[in-house]
Structure 1
Amino acid sequence: MTPEDLKTLIHQVAEATPEIGPLEESLKWGEQSFTPLKRNVGSSVRIAPRPDGELALMFICHTNLVDEFRGLYPDALTYEGNRAIVLSPGIDADREALKHCIALALTYKLRKRMKRI
């Protein structure tokens, strides 16, 4: 998977999930970042290409997102600490699991608020 493939996947998830809506694209820490334009909907998702060809899908570390992903997909994806899903070159990632994790991140704040109600 290339950074462009991952960017397309992130936009597909946003378009297929009405709660997310359009995304704002920016650079954070030199990485492509995607956040819902609507306020208080979700957490940012960043794409971090690595020199060894790996691609990291980065999440804000003070959320519990990566732990949530690990609980849902313990063997389907590769994780790095509480910050990232790591995609290795030449290895097909579970696209459905990846799409679900992206949707969970982009609706993080909305889901957190709904739990309080």
Structure 2
Amino acid sequence: MENKVKQKFSSYPDEIKPKMESLRNLIYEVAQATEGVGELEETLKWGEPAYLTSQTKSGTTIRIDWKPKNPDQIGLYVSCNTTLISTFRTLFEDDLTFEGNRAIVFPVDKPIPKKQLMICIQMALRYHLDKNR
């Protein structure tokens, strides 16, 4: 983890850090298991931890964050220029909560719906490979 990202993770409140680390680990787990993704680049974009498929350009950037203005939720963000959130909404309308056309948000006091989220992460990491199919 690069220094800027480490600093960001260490800035989260103690009760938020484990959720954010779990979300980060899930992104890496899915990336390793997903064909065509390759290595992820971890950096900060807009002050948020961001995960890019920089070598293969297979997918869109995934960002994650917790914000003090919404202290009861964490979010997983994708580009609003993609069709991903509308697709996720169609697939998981009953299981996930969405914010506009850019985010999936999770209550900090509930478990992350891992099964559904893994599918969403995989679709984001393969977005450019799969969008013309």
Scaled by the length of structure 2, what TM-score is found?
0.81
For 1:26, the aligned partner's letter is T
Gaps of 5+ in 1: none
SS at match of 1:87: strand
CA drift at 1:104: 0.3
Determine which of 85, 91, 114 is the counterpart of 1:72.
Answer: 91
Q: What is the aligned partner in structure 1 of residue 110 from structure 2? A: 91
Q: What is the aligned partner in structure 2 of residue 27 from structure 1? A: 44
Contact 1:60 1:83 in 2 (8 A): yes
For 2:58, the aligned partner's letter is V
Scaled by the length of structure 1, what TM-score is found?
0.92
Gaps of 5+ in 2: 1-17
CA drift at 1:18: 2.3
4+ residue runs of structure 1 moved beyond 4 angstroms?
Answer: none
Paired with 1:14 and 1:3, the residues of 2 have a C-alpha distance of: 17
Paired with 1:77 and 1:50, the residues of 2 have a C-alpha distance of: 19
Q: What is the aligned partner in structure 2 of residue 56 from structure 1? A: 75
CA drift at 1:100: 0.4
Determine which of 33, 37, 61 is the counterpart of 1:16.
Answer: 33
For 1:35, the aligned partner's letter is L
Contact 2:36 2:56 in 1 (8 A): no
Larger Rg: 2
For 1:82, the aligned partner's letter is N
Paired with 1:106 and 1:61, the residues of 2 have a C-alpha distance of: 15
Q: What is the aligned partner in structure 2 of residue 40 from structure 1? A: 57
CA drift at 1:37: 2.9
Paired with 2:28 and 2:112, the residues of 1 have a C-alpha distance of: 17
Paired with 1:11 and 1:50, the residues of 2 have a C-alpha distance of: 22
1:15-44, Cα deviation, whole Å (9 max, x unpaired): 111211110111100000001132330000
Which structure has the higher relative contact order (CA within 8 Å, separation 6+)? Answer: 1
Paired with 1:39 and 1:21, the residues of 2 have a C-alpha distance of: 6
